[in-house]
Amino acid sequence: MNAIEVEHLNKTFKVQKNRGGLKGALQDLFSRQYNEVAAVNDISFSIPAGEICGYIGENGAGKSTTIKMLTGILVPTSGKLNVGGYVPHEEREKFVRNIGVVFGQRSQLWWDIGVIESFGLLRKVYGVGENDYKKRLDELVQRLDLGELLSRPVRKLSLGQRMRCELVAALLHNPSIVFLDEPTIGLDIIVKTEIREFLKDMNRQHGTTILLTTHDLQDIEALCSRVIMLDEGRIIYDGGLDTLKSRWGQGTRVTFQFGAPCPLPRLRGLTSELDVSWTADNDLHAEVLVPGEMSVSDVLARVVGHADIAITDIKITETTTDEIVRQIYRTGSATAPAAPVAEGGHNSHA
């Protein structure tokens, strides 16, 4: 069963054109001209119930606009949406009882009142029964270690404390689908790790579907098996992290430090049957790039163990997801080394 279904979704904004100079400003007063910005451009995907899916892209790629349509805040220009059995913007009141939303940059808590009072108000907004609320609150407060924070006003909380409270606020009504927009932004590594662990547990225990927007690819690595990547409003990748790494990753870089000169031709000769590429700054330091599909040990076995090659240090570096994604953003979809892919069951329009 799919928790989220998106078909040929579009959102276009009209943005007023500003003509330059005094004459232009006067003209603008009487006859306004507009440009159209296609923030989301014909995207289709579906997310099965219980999946944690990363939704990534550069600034302005269209992530927030998609989340706003999926949560019923914005009405699509065209296309079809179904989230948890509802069309979000048409059935907003019933729909919001099934979803949880956390916008890392904005708070849904009341700034000046105690956290627990905010939770009490949200209980009424979501129509949660007293007993269910108590049970759920106890579980969340214990899990996120909020005990002594409950009586404090939100304005007195640190960012990490506030973020933990935001999560509780979004989950009090036990939603089956949760949208997280930059939930770890600005947090230190300890709080980030706590939040990631919490989200993983929640997904495991309750089968919660999570759509996660983030610029922190460690969030994606820790939580998501699948990632959807946007560029200028279009999906340029929809698939597993592993596929992303094997398609786009440059493989593994092995760096050798030698105690005595070892010229590049000698090293190339040793690995002549392998499709690897060597580079060296000097005879004491060389690097070999091993493609993703090749085993690093095949290369090491050919270099290590020769009496005339004195290796003093070896460093092995994998291409990180961070580097891969940065490279894709840099090159854009048109010059990508591989065509955009959609894995089994997911639609993608590139």
Q: Does 37 bind ligand ATP (CB under 6 A)?
A: yes
Q: Does 289 bind ligand ATP (CB under 6 A)?
A: no
Q: Which token pair is 162?
A: 């506030």
The Cα 330–Cα 318 span in angstroms is 19
Q: Does 35 bind ligand ATP (CB under 6 A)?
A: no
Instruction: Please identify, among the stretches 59-67, 141-149, 251-259, 269-277, the one whose residues bind ligand ATP according to the rule CB under 6 A.
Output: 59-67
| Min CB(118)–ligand ATP separation in Å | 25
Q: Does 65 bind ligand ATP (CB under 6 A)?
A: yes
Q: Residues 3, 9, 41, 63: which binds ligand ATP (CB under 6 A)?
A: 63
Q: b or e along 80-117 (b: 16 or more beta carbons within 10 Å of the residue's beta carbon)?
A: ebbbbebebbeeeeebbebbbbbbbeebebeeeebbbb
Q: Taking a C-beta distance cutoff of 8 angstroms, is the pair 2, 48 a contact?
A: yes
Instruction: Please identify, among the stretches 58-66, 90-98, 107-115, 162-170, the one whose residues bind ligand ATP according to the rule CB under 6 A.
Output: 58-66
* CA 34 remoteness from chain centre: 32
Give the nearer residue to ligand ATP in terms of CB position, either 37 or 342: 37
| Min CB(325)–ligand ATP separation in Å | 13
2-17 β-sheet, strand order: 33-48, 2-17, 78-83
Q: Residues 4, 47, 53, 61: which binds ligand ATP (CB under 6 A)?
A: 61
Q: Taking a C-beta distance cutoff of 8 angstroms, is the pair 38, 10 a contact?
A: yes
Q: Residues 44, 64, 184, 208: which binds ligand ATP (CB under 6 A)?
A: 64
The secondary structure of residue 294, as a DSSP letter, is: S
| Min CB(213)–ligand ATP separation in Å | 7
CA 33, 37, 38, 39 dihedral sign is negative
Q: Does 234 bind ligand ATP (CB under 6 A)?
A: no
* Contacts with ligand ATP, residue ranges (CB under 6 A): 13, 15, 37, 39, 57, 59-65
